[in-house]
Amino acid sequence: MKILLVNPPRSPHNGILDFAPEEARPFIHKKLIGPPLGLLTIASAARDHDVLLLDMKGEYDLDPDAADPETLVGTYLKSFNPDMVGVTFIASEFSQGIEIFRWAKRHDPRILTVAGGLHATACPADFNDGSVDLVIPGQCADIFMNAVRAHEEGKNPGSAPGVYAKSEGGLVFSGRADRRWEAAGKDFIMPDRSHLRRWISAYRAGGSPDPSTYIFTSLGCPYRCTFCSIWPLFDGRYHQRDIESVIEELKSMDEYPVVRFADANTIVNEDFINALFDRIAEEGIRKFFIMDIRFDTAVKYPGLIEKLARNGLRVVICGFESYREEELRRYRKEAPARLIEEAISIFHANGIMVRGNYVIPADYTRDDFSAMADYAGSHRVVYAGYTILTPMPGTSFYESVRERIVDHDLSRYNFFNCVFRTVLPLEKFYESVGRLWLIKEGTDVI
Ligand code: B12
Ligand code: SF4
């Protein structure tokens, strides 16, 4: 069975960049390249088949001379002639992914098209499109393989439990799969990074000359921030991997000196991280580590932060969200803003560069922007990000504000566009957010 797995290109929409002052533009994300771990896991699960992976973020987004996406995908379809095409979805890449399925069906209507990933899990009903044969939500490598086998044997791949399958009347769910699949535990599948060799030079963090990769040590998050997509996918549960399996994976990543922990929230169980870093030290694993850590966690465990820094932690991504207690309460962040300052000091004392991210709501007025600028200016970090509070479909925030959303085009749901009516004129709002990106330490870019 020939299986083509495609990581769609990123959304081209970036309102902040479009209206930012010229001097702020170099600091605003134009690209964000990392490995599609979900697809690599699916590729590993299907290793006994003929699998080809196309990372359009590597192949298309970074190459100004690349052919247009349709021609590019068409070239792969013609030369590989797949029996199946799988695409991974986040909200902002939804329409590009659907286009890929349409091109596949146009190339050969017998190709079985399969959607998976975050948006397929959060909003399977969105995939009611003639080009989509199957939608497989959740951590589903086993269910995907059942569908592959059924297709191979000429059976109906949509009858296996756990899938939404196309029918005359729209997508039909085959019923919950009766299983105890532990994607971070006993059923963990090592992502096969060899599929990315072609684009390895594209995976870089900031100005680093070395390729970077991602690794996850956990899935899910025990917190309940209203705007966050991750906890609803795991019903608020947190699943930790086994330390030795993380060590084995780290030891297989010699090509990648820079490693970002792709956990929603890396330190939930401090004993786990403590023990993991003892093993990292014991094994002599030397990497430049990047990690997402909550600011309240840093304040709670300064000794642990020091130990992580001693063993390679160089950059921390920290969701500050807001410096206003009231806003943080509204987001259900469960951490007081007054700890941000303390967390920054702890990270800086350990030589860790901080990427602090604030979210800007649509109702910010001129005064709010100026208060935000004052705060960020007196709490500078090396990499500061200012993105827009966005109601990602499937989140509790989305449910609470859906009546107020004025833009339903999912390709704008990437935190760089505003989908609500703003208090300031929209262009002024974007320009004000763009201007905030100037408030940071130095000129380094992540
Ligand atoms: C790695 C990662 C990336 C990587 C790679 C993503 C990619 N596909 O190219 C990079 C760096 C490119 C990236 C970029 C972005 N990302 Co990102 N990213 C993540 C991160 C940290 C980890 C995801 C992950 O690897 N999980 C582990 C894997 C194993 O799980 P999984 O992906 O769910 O895959 C499993 C299943 O879903 C399923 N599956 C997945 N794909 C498929 C496909 C098929 C066919 C099948 C059958 C099954 C299947 O099987 C897998 C194995 O069990 C998450 C946050 C998080 N911790 O979850 C954010 C996250 C997914 N990203 C997000 C966003 C918004 C972005 C950006 C838009 C950010 C930005 N503003 O620029 C950009 C988009 C691209 C760009 N601008 O270039 C959001 C998505 C929100 C949403 N509702 O859509 C998240 C949740 C972060 C957040 N805080 O909200 N991201
Ligand atoms: S924003 Fe961070 S801490 Fe909050 S629920 Fe999401 S992953 Fe967890």
Q: Which atom of ligand 2 is nearest to the CA of 224?
A: 5
The tokens of 99 are what?
Answer: 């286009």
In contact, 417 and 392? CB cutoff 8 Å: no
The tokens of 114 are what?
Answer: 């399969």
Helix (H, G, I), strand (E, B) or coil at 291: strand
Kindly give, in sequence order, each residue whose CB lies less than 8 Å from that of residue 181, ignoring residues fewer than 6 positions away: 139, 140, 142, 187
| Number of neighbouring beta carbons within 10 Å of residue 213 | 24
The predicted pLDDT at position 51 comes to 98
Question: Measuring CA to CA, which residue among 280, 259, 257 is closest to residue 213?
Answer: 259
Kindly give, in sequence order, each residue whose CB lies less than 8 Å from that of residue 328, ignoring residues fewer than 6 positions away: 321, 322, 335, 336, 337
Q: Is the CB of 268 under 6 A from ligand 2?
A: no
| C-alpha distances in Å from residue 436, one per residue of 205, 358, 381 | 22, 10, 13
In contact, 270 and 301? CB cutoff 8 Å: yes
The tokens of 68 are what?
Answer: 């247009």
Q: Is the CB of 297 under 6 A from ligand 2?
A: no
Residue 154 burial class via C-beta count within 10 angstroms: exposed 0-12, middle 13-18, buried 19 and up:
exposed
Backbone angles phi, psi at 428, to 5 degrees: -65, -40
Q: What span, in angstroms and rounded, lies between the C-alpha atoms of 377 and 369?
A: 12
Question: Measuring CA to CA, which residue among 283, 210, 209 is closest to residue 252?
Answer: 283
Distance 38 CA to ligand 2 centre (A): 19
Q: What share of the chain is helix, strand, coil (3-state, %, to 5)?
A: 40, 15, 40
The predicted pLDDT at position 208 comes to 85
Q: Show the low-confidence residues of the chain (pLDDT under 50).
A: none
Question: Measuring CA to CA, which residue among 383, 305, 319, 385 is closest to residue 347?
Answer: 305
Give me the helix-helix angle, 366-378 and 426-436, nearest 10°.
Answer: 10
- Looking at residue 263, the DSSP 8-state letter turns out to be -
Kindly give, in sequence order, each residue whose CB lies less than 8 Å from that of residue 398, ignoring residues fewer than 6 positions away: 391, 392
Strand order in the sheet with 313-321: 212-215, 258-261, 288-292, 313-321, 353-360, 383-388
The predicted pLDDT at position 37 comes to 97
313-321/84-88 β-pairing: unpaired
First-to-last alpha carbon distance for the chain, in angstroms, is: 40
170-173/288-292 β-pairing: unpaired
Amino acid at 359: V
The predicted pLDDT at position 64 comes to 78
The predicted pLDDT at position 335 comes to 96
Testing ligand 1's pocket by substitution, the residue of 1, 41, 90, 146 carrying the most ligand atoms inside 8 A of its CB is 90
Backbone angles phi, psi at 117, to 5 degrees: 100, -170
Q: Is the CB of 228 under 6 A from ligand 2?
A: yes
Q: What span, in angstroms and rounded, lies between the C-alpha atoms of 377 and 384?
A: 10
Q: Is the CB of 223 under 6 A from ligand 2?
A: yes
The predicted pLDDT at position 31 comes to 72
Q: Which domains does the chain have, with CATH numbers?
A: 2-173 (3.40.50.280), 204-436 (3.20.20.70)
Nearest CA to ligand 2 atom 3: 223
Stated pTM of the model = 0.97
Ligand 1 cavity residues, CB under 6 Å: 7, 10, 29, 31-34, 36-39, 41-42, 57, 86-88, 90-92, 114, 116-119, 121, 136, 139-141, 144, 183, 214, 216, 229-230, 262-264, 392, 414-416
Distance 231 CA to ligand 1 centre (A): 14
Testing ligand 2's pocket by substitution, the residue of 227, 230, 331 carrying the most ligand atoms inside 8 A of its CB is 230
